Amino acid sequence: RFIAKPCALGLKVQANGPQKAQPNAILEKVFTAITKHPDEKRLEGLSKQLDWDVRSIQRWFRQRRNQEKPSTLRKFCESMWRFTFYLYIFTYGVRFLKKTPWLWNTRQCWNGYPYQPLMPDLHYYYIVELSFYWSLMFSQFIDIKRKDFGIMCTHHIVAVTLLSFSYVTNLTRVGTLTLCLHDVADIVLEAAKMANYCKCQKLSDLLFFTFAIVFIVSRLGIYPLWILNTTLFELYETLGNFPALWVFNMLLVILQILHCLWSYLIIKTAYKAFTKGKVAKDDRSDIESSSDEEETVPRSKTPHSTVATNGTGGTNGTNGFLSGTCSEEH
């Protein structure tokens, strides 16, 4: 509010939200009580009742749905907050881990287990990360809803459970490696979003492709070969079989499944970018679930009178991600 918003305005990020639909009691009642996506039969009935053409009613419903979407300014502020946190905690994690023996030799994660002292730096690192993921657990219901809301919700539950379980069972050394590895890609993702909101398209595209490479290398390459290898094999060889091992590995494998799902979305977005010439969207975590992209209707060549009809002679409200015609094309 006091830092991100002035930065956004200084970078000329669009402050106003989507255009509001003209107040209409009948359409508002249908929208709130019956459906936000009326079918053809209902549209024809409303057209006769209001003496509007069908396209005007479709446009009103589209604008009314867009009216509930957040502004670009709000999305920029949210991304800047997350970028700041990820950058800080990743920097802290790297500074802490480069002094530890288990960064260079993962077998050191299990030496002396479970009687490993909880160092103050490690405790701080864990508690801050756990606090952040707990905050995401609650804020995801009031923050901007993304296209991958279900996957993100699952991820937050797994992350909180994994952090809490590893803290209780003193599996914190490998936990710090996992945290640091996950934070690096999110820094680039949030930076790409902010560049897009500032309409720096070339910078946004560059950052997105950088994010795609970092994400796939870290989550599909380093994570299974470095983290899963030590928890599935080295841990078993060192300490043998015990119940916590299976629970811990199950949570880590679920995390890997989520990585695969996200990688699919990222690769799909990158493919679209190559075929269309630029990155239109980030399928991983930057599209509202309420998007009406599939329902773009050509404007009527003969607009209605503002007083007698719908009063929607202006341009169609955007989703706060891209503006004007570009939003409708995408």
pLDDT attached to residue 122: 96
pLDDT digits (tens, 9 = 90+) for 300-318: 433 343 333 333 333 333 3
Contacts of residue 294, defined as CB under 8 A and 6 or more positions apart, other chains included, come to none
The predicted pLDDT at position 216 comes to: 95
Q: How many CB atoms lie within 10 A of CB 275?
A: 7
Q: Are 108 and 173 in contact (CB under 8 A)?
A: yes
What is the pLDDT, as a whole number, of residue 22? Answer: 80
Tell me, what's the pLDDT at 99? 93
Cut 0.85: pTM above it: no
Q: List residues bridging with 288 in a β-sheet.
A: 146
Strand, coil or helix: 146: strand
pLDDT per position as a tens digit, 126-183: 999 999 999 988 887 776 666 667 788 888 899 999 999 999 999 999 999 999 999 9
DSSP state of 108: G
Q: C-alpha 250: how far from its chain's center?
A: 24
* Mean of pLDDT over the chain: 81
pLDDT of residue 280: 47
Give the C-alpha separation, 58 to 37, whole Å.
9
Q: Tens digit of pLDDT for each residue in 12-36?
A: 887 766 677 788 888 888 888 888 8
> According to CATH, where is 1.10.10.60 located in the chain?
19-68
Q: Could you tell me which of 142, 145, 184, 140 has the C-alpha nearest to residue 160?
A: 140
Residues 6+ apart with CB under 8 A from 238: 107, 110, 111, 113
CA–CA–CA angle 265, 260, 284 (5° rounding): 30
> Which region among 120-129, 225-234, 307-316 has the lowest average model confidence (pLDDT)?
307-316
Residues 6+ away with beta carbon under 8 Å from 30: 38, 42, 46
How confident is residue 271, by pLDDT bands cut at 50, 70 and 90? confident
Say which residues have a Cβ less than 8 Å from residue 275's Cβ, sequence separation at least 6: none
Going by C-alpha positions, the residue among 267, 179, 289, 269 that lies closest to residue 223 is: 179
The CATH code belonging to domain 19-68 is 1.10.10.60
State the Cα–Cα distance between residues 284 and 27, nearest whole angstrom: 34
CB under 8 Å to 250, separation ≥6 — which residues? none
Separation CA 76–CA 301 (nearest Å): 36
Q: What is the pLDDT of residues 51-107, one digit of tens each?
A: 888 888 888 888 888 877 778 888 899 999 999 999 999 999 999 999 999 999 999
Q: What would the two tokens of residue 198 be?
A: 């500032």
